[in-house]
Amino acid sequence: MSTLALSRSRFALSPLAETLGSLMVLDKPCTDPWLASWHRLHRGAFRAALEADPFAEGLVRLLSSSKWLPSHVVIPPAGGMRTTLESELASVAQVSDEEVRAELEESVAHSWKQHDLAWLTGRGWAARTADLLTYVWEAHVAPDWPRRRALLERDVTYRAGLLAAYGWPRALQHMSRRSAWVGDDAIRFSDQASPDRVVGDEGMLFVPVSVLSSGTWLCEAPPTSYALVYPARGSADGAARSPRARSLERLIGAGRAAILHELEHPATSSELAAHLGLSLGTVGGHLAVMRDADLVVGTRAGRRVVYRRTEAGHLLAGLGQG
């Protein structure tokens, strides 16, 4: 990656990546506690929809059990932080049947399960894939998108702060166990053998997804456009509260305890409100009280104020853990 490409690399959001991640999570038993309530609510309807459509069932089974995701469903988002699903699905739907089959055959070759493509009947497979993704978005992702988007924007805020202070290697730290910065101008995406890619002068995109607890995938738009999809920091659902956490709630109030816990990672008041399901005024009031008590501090970043815990806030939050 050239110096120019590095300087132009940036973060982006992808409703398509969020939908694809949700599809793969819903196809399996839930192993992440923070997703349990969402998974229970949606999996029955999702499985019923697949059972009614052999093409959708075969495609989902393959996507959720292969190390090779077909290129027509992993496309670098073109709209930055304002990317829309409609624009992404337009790109999905225009791929030829010949290209779709070739990519699906690669997925079969890289799967850890036995597959055939007997379900690949008729024509217009890219458009049918777009229809499936539209269904998953509308039925299972869109109702939760405002909260998820706030979580994703919060991850970007956190990493952008690291980028400004320390540079890209620190900003990309812990995105994945297999991804790492190598030297001054290269990123290792995984431990699988694959050809080197050259990022163009427009730089690379980094795209958080809220439903994955591990794993990444690479989006490509040849010859030189790439995006790395990675798990966002934080959880998609709140974990069960421990007795010590409830003690902290009794000490300072449930709302303030929740905010103090969430500020393990810096966030704006709007991000806190969206993630916790509170009004902006309520969050602002709690922040004002905790700021006066020297538990949190706000730092202006452009038009936004990003809040973080002080040392006293860290100590108090630590009393509610375990």
Q: Using an 8 Å Cβ cutoff, are 207 and 167 in contact? A: no
List the chain domain ranges. 3-9+147-231, 15-145, 243-319
Angle between helix 269-276 and helix 280-292 axes, rounded to 10 deg: 120
Q: What are the average pLDDT values for consecutive 10-residue runs of the chain, which has 322 residues? A: 76 97 93 84 96 97 94 94 96 96 96 93 97 98 92 87 78 68 66 70 88 85 83 59 67 87 85 79 94 93 87 80 48
From residue 201, alpha-carbon distances to 8, 198, 205, 294 in Å are: 7, 10, 12, 45
- Rounded to whole angstroms, how far apart are CA atoms 14 and 83? 6
Give the chain's largest Cα–Cα span: 66
- Rounded to whole angstroms, how far apart are CA atoms 266 and 306? 6
**What pLDDT is attached to residue 199?**
77
Q: Using an 8 Å Cβ cutoff, are 163 and 171 in contact? A: yes
CATH class of 243-319: mainly alpha
pLDDT digits (tens, 9 = 90+) for 36-87: 889 999 999 999 999 999 999 999 999 999 999 999 999 999 999 999 999 9
- Rounded to whole angstroms, how far apart are CA atoms 260 and 291? 11
Chain position carrying tokens 């009031």: 285
Task: Return the H-helix or E-strand segment holding 105.
Answer: helix 97-109
194: exposed, middle or buried (C-beta count within 10 Å: 0-12, 13-18, 19+)?
exposed
Q: Does the pTM of the predicted model rise above 0.85? A: no
What proportions of the chain, in percent to the nearest 5, are helix, strand and coil? 55, 15, 35
225 has which bridge partners? 221
Q: Using an 8 Å Cβ cutoff, are 306 and 161 in contact? A: yes
